[in-house]
Amino acid sequence: MAKLVLLHDPHPGIAEALIALPEPMKDCIDSLNLKIMPLEEAVIKIELVANELSGKVEVVENYQYIGFRIIRRDVTPGKINSKKEHYFRLLRYQEV
C-alpha cells in the first residue's frame, strides 16, 4: 500500500533564495499544499514540471521534504558565463 502523506509548507517563491523559484513550479507546489495523497503521486506531479524546467526532484526522507535542483546559466554582461546550481525545498510532508 502506498504511503499517504499530508503535503504542507510550500516554498514561498523568493524568500532568501538567490533566484526565484520558477513560476510553473511554484504553481504546482501551491496546488499540492494541504493535500493528502500517496507520496509517489505527488512526486510524479512535481517531476512533470521539473522535467519541463530541466530540473531534478528528490525525496529527502530524513527531513520529510521534496527538493528540487536546477542548473541555470549565469549570463551577466561582462562576466564569463557559468552554470550555477540552485536547490529548493519545495514541500514538507508528513505521514497520515
- What sign for the dihedral angle of Cα 32, 36, 37, 38? positive
What are the DSSP calls for 53-64, one per residue? TT-EEEEETTTT
Higher local confidence (pLDDT), 89 or 76: 89
Per-residue cell: 78: 561582462
What's the pLDDT at 13? 82
Give per-residue pLDDT as tens, 48-83.
999 999 999 999 999 999 999 998 776 666 666 677
pTM of this structure: 0.86
Per-residue cell: 12: 514561498
Rounded distance between C-alpha atoms, residue 90 and residue 9, angstroms: 8
